[in-house]
Structure 1
Amino acid sequence: MKNRSFRLLWMSQALANSGDIFYIVGLISVLYSLTESPFILALVPFFNMFGRFVSGLFSPLLINRYPLKQLLVYSQFFKTVALGMLALLISLLVPVVPVVLAFVLMIAFLDGWATPASQSMLPRLVPPHELVKANSFFSIVYETINLGGWAIGGLLVAFLGGQWVIVFTVGCYTASTILLLYIVDATRFTGKEASTRRADELTEGWKTIWRHPLYRSLHILIAFEAIANVVWIASILYVFVAEVLQKSEAWWGYINTSFFIGMLLGGILFSRFASWGETKLKPVLLISSFGICIITFLFGYTQIGWLSLIIVCFSGIFQQLKGIATDTFLQKNATPEELPKIYAAQSTIVSLLFAIGSLVFGMLAEVVDVRITYLLAASLLFIASVHTYRQRRYLSLEK
C-alpha cells in the first residue's frame, strides 16, 4: 500500500470519479435551463450507460494492443479533450441538445476503457497479501466521493453555474491525466498477434469466464444482482417512498445517503480487518450474498421510515463486503492477461442487464404494487446465492 504508483492510481481515479459526478450535475443544470424537459434529463444517464456498454464490447481489441497504463492515460486524456470541447460549446454558443448528448456518449465510451484497465491495474501495484486492504481502500475512496460528490456538485452549480462546473471538471480531468503519466507498471505487456481473428478477441473475456468454474459462478451472481439492483434506482425508490413509506421526496435522499454510509462502513470494516478477511473470503461472499437477499425482502415490506434507513444501511454494508470479496477472488486467480478482458466482459454484462432490468421493473412498478418488485428482486438474489453456495467448492484462491 506504500507503493507510489498505487497512490498515484487512487488519487487519479478519485479526481476522475469526482469529475464524472461534477460534469453530470453541471450538464443536467445546463440542459434543464435550456429545455425544462425531464425526458431530456433522463437521456443523460441513458446515453452514459449506453456508451459504457458499447465500449465494454469493443475494449478487448484495445486491451490486446496497448498496455493498461497507456489505455488509462489515453482514456483520461481524450475525455479531457472531449469535455473541454463541450465546455467551449456551452460557453460560446447556444448548445444543441443532440450535439450535447453526442458528447455524453463519447465521454462515456472513452470511460468504458478506463474501468477494466483501472480494476486490472490494482493487483499489479500491490503485493498479493495486501489486495483485500487495497480493494477496501479503493472502495472507501469511491464511496466517499459518491456520498459527498453529488452534494458538492450541487453546491458548485448553485454558486458557479452549470457551465463553470463543467470547466472546473476539465481541471479535475487534466490533473488525473498528469498523475496517470507517472504510474510505473512493471508487468510485461504481450500483445495479440495480428493474425488473431477479431471475433475471437471480442469474445475472449466471455469464453474465459465461461470455461473457468470460479469466474462463471461469480458472474452468474453478478448478473442476477445487476437485474435485482434495479430496485434501488430513483424511479422505483421514489414510488416506494411515496406509496409505501408515505414520506416526502426528501426521504429518497435520506435512503440514498444511508445506503452510501453503509457502503463506506463496509469498506472501513474490511480494511480494518483485512488480514482476517483475506482468509475468510468464501464465507464473507456467501454470507453477504444471502444477507443482501434478506435485506432486500425486508426493505420491500417495511412501512416504517426510520427502520427502512437502518435496513438500507445494512444493504450497503453487505454490498460492499460482497464486492470486495468478488474483486479479490478475480484479481488473485486471473492472470494479468485475463483480468482486463474479464472486467470488460463484466462491465458489458452489468450495463446490458441493468438497462433491461430498469425497463422491466419500471413497468412492473407502474402496473402492480411496487413492493412486488422488491419481492422479485429478493427472489432473484436468493436463486443467485443458492447457486453460489452450491458452487462453493470452486471459491478458492488457487490458480
Structure 2
Amino acid sequence: MKSKSFHYLWISQALANCGDLFYVVGLMAIVHEITGSAMHMAMIPFVTTLARFISGGFAPVLMDKYALKSLLLISQWGKTAVLLLLVMTRYALGNQEMTVYVILVMVLLISFLDGWAAPASHALLPRLVPRDELTRANSFVAVVDQMIQLGGWAAGGMLVAIFGGGQVIWLTVVLAAAAAVLTKRMEDPWVLENSSERKARTPYWSSMREGWVLIWKQPALRTIHVIYVLESIAGVVWIAAIVYVYVSEVLHKEEAWWGYINASFFLGLMAGGWCGMKGSRWMDRHIVGLTVYASFGISLMTFGFGMTSIPWLALMFSSGFGLFDQLKAISLQTMLQRSASLQMMPKVYAAQSSLISLVFGASTLLFGYVTDRFGVRTTFMAAAGILFLSGCYAFGARARWAPGGNGHDVREASSM
C-alpha cells in the first residue's frame, strides 16, 4: 500500500466522509431550529436514499463517458458549489419554512452527486493496490471509516452546540474542497495503460444494465449480492429508531444507552478492521470459510442482543456483532474485487449501490411495522433468522467462489 495515489484516495475520501457527517448534523440542527418537527428532519435521510438510488441507476452511463477520477472530481467540486449555495440561501432566507424546502432540494442535489462518487471510489481501490494487498487495503480503509463514524457524530454535535449548524456547513465546504484537491493529484494507472483503447459507444439502456446483468450471470457475484441483500434486510434493526425502542422497552435505560450501544458497535467494527490489517495473509487463505463463520457469528450476536435484558451483555453482543460484521464485509469486498474485471467493476458497484439503497429503504418500513405490531424482540429475532439463512446460503454456495475468470482468483478456504 505504498502507492501515493492510494494515499490520496483514502485521505480524500476520509475528508469527504467527515464532511458528509458534519453536513448531516448541521442540517439536522438547522431544520430542527426552524421547524422543531421530527418529520421534517426524517425527510433528510429519505431524500438522501432516494437520490442515491436514482443516481446509482444512471452512474454506468457516466462511467462509459468519463474516467472514475473525473467523476470523483465532478462530484466533489459539485458538492462544494451546492454547499456554498446552501449556506448563502440559508443566510438570505433566514428561519422561514421555505428555507427547509430549499435545504431538501440541496440535499437531493448533493446526494445525487454522491450516488456515483461512492461506486467510483470503491472501484478505484483495486486499481491502485496490488492484488495480494487488497484484503489489507480494504481493512485499512474500513478502520479509517469507522474511526470517522465513531468520533464524527460526537465531534459534529459538539461543533453544532458551540458554533451552530450554519458554521458547521462552512466547515463541510472546506472539507469537500480539500477532498477535491487531493483527488486531482491521484493517478489511475489502469486509465493510463488503456488510454489508447477506444470503446464503442454503448446505448444508455445497455450501459445501465451491464452491472446488473454481470451480477446475475456470474455465480460468484450473484452469491455475494444475495448475501448483501439478506444482510441489508436484517441490518435495518440497527437503525436509531429501533435501537431506541430496544433501549427503552427491553433494557429500561435512559437515552444515553443508545449512544453506548452505538459506540460498542463501532468499536467492534474497528476491531474487525484491525484484525483484517494484521491478519490479511491468513484471511486471504481462509477468506471463504471466514465469510461463512462470520455470517453465523453475526446471526448469533443479533439473537443474543435481542434476547438479553442485561445492559452490559447488550454492549458485548453489540460489539461482537460489529467485529463479525466487519470481518465479513472485508471478505465480501475483497472477493467481489477479485471476481470482476477492473473495467466492469465500476458498473458492478453502481448496481450494488442502487440495489442496497432500494432494499434498505423498503426494509426500514417493513421492520418499523413489525416493531410496532409485534414488539422489538420479535424484530431482532426475525433479523437473526434472516442472518442465519444468509450463513446457510454462504455455506451451501461456497463452491461458487472457486478460482474464477478475469484474472482474479478467490481461493477456497483450506478448512472447508
TM-score w.r.t. the length of structure 2 is 0.94
Alignment of 1:179-258 (within 5 A): 179-187=182-190, 188=194, 192-194=199-201, 196-258=202-264
1:357 to 357, 363, 368: 363
1:193 corresponds to which letter in structure 2? Answer: A
* Other structure's SS at 1:242 match: helix
Structure 1 residue 126 corresponds to structure 2 residue 129: yes
Aligned length: 398
Please give the per-residue CA displacement for 1:285-337, whole angstroms capped at 9, x wherever unaligned. Answer: 11111111111111111110000000010100111001100110011221011
Per-residue deviation at 1:192? 4.8
Q: Comparing 117-126 with 381-390, which one deviates more in the overlay?
A: 381-390
1:146 to 144, 149, 163: 149
Tell me the equivalent position of 1:39: 39
CA contact under 8 A between 1:65 and 1:191: conserved in structure 2? Answer: no
1:135 to 120, 128, 138: 138
Alignment of 1:170-185 (within 5 A): 170-185=173-188
Structure 1 residue 30 corresponds to structure 2 residue 36: no
Hey, what's the Cα distance between the residues in 2 that align with 1:65 and 1:373? 44
1:239 corresponds to which letter in structure 2? Answer: V
Please give the per-residue CA displacement for 1:14-67, whole angstroms capped at 9, x wherever unaligned. Answer: 100000000110111111110011110111111111111111111111111111
CA contact under 8 A between 2:261 and 2:315: conserved in structure 1? Answer: yes
Hey, what's the Cα distance between the residues in 1 that align with 2:91 and 2:282? 53
CA contact under 8 A between 2:306 and 2:380: conserved in structure 1? Answer: yes
2:262 corresponds to which letter in structure 1? Answer: N
1:122 corresponds to which letter in structure 2? Answer: L
Structure 1 residue 327 corresponds to structure 2 residue 330: no
Question: What is the RMSD of the two structures over their aligned residues, measured on CA atoms?
Answer: 1.1
* Structure 1 residues 192 and 41: alpha-carbon distance in aligned structure 2, compared to 1, 3 A threshold: farther
Hey, what's the Cα distance between the residues in 2 that align with 1:101 and 1:304? 40
1:158 to 157, 161, 165: 161
Question: Which 4+ stretches in 1 moved above 3 angstroms?
Answer: 189-192
Hey, what's the Cα distance between the residues in 1 that align with 2:6 and 2:146? 18
1:388 to 394, 397, 401: 394
* Other structure's SS at 2:308 match: coil
Q: Comparing 211-220 with 274-283, which one deviates more in the overlay?
A: 274-283
Identity %: 44
Hey, what's the Cα distance between the residues in 2 that align with 1:91 and 1:13? 29
Tell me the equivalent position of 2:385: 379
CA contact under 8 A between 2:28 and 2:41: conserved in structure 1? Answer: yes
Hey, what's the Cα distance between the residues in 2 that align with 1:137 and 1:370? 34
CA contact under 8 A between 1:66 and 1:191: conserved in structure 2? Answer: no
Hey, what's the Cα distance between the residues in 2 that align with 1:283 and 1:24? 38
Tell me the equivalent position of 2:86: 86
Uncovered stretches (5+) of structure 1, i.e. residues with no partner: none
Tell me the equivalent position of 1:51: 51
CA contact under 8 A between 2:84 and 2:173: conserved in structure 1? Answer: yes
Q: Comparing 372-381 with 9-18, which one deviates more in the overlay?
A: 372-381
* Other structure's SS at 2:342 match: coil
* Structure 1 residues 274 and 29: alpha-carbon distance in aligned structure 2, compared to 1, 3 A threshold: same
Uncovered stretches (5+) of structure 2, i.e. residues with no partner: 406-416
Hey, what's the Cα distance between the residues in 1 that align with 2:34 and 2:113? 26
* Other structure's SS at 2:404 match: coil
Per-residue deviation at 1:240? 0.9
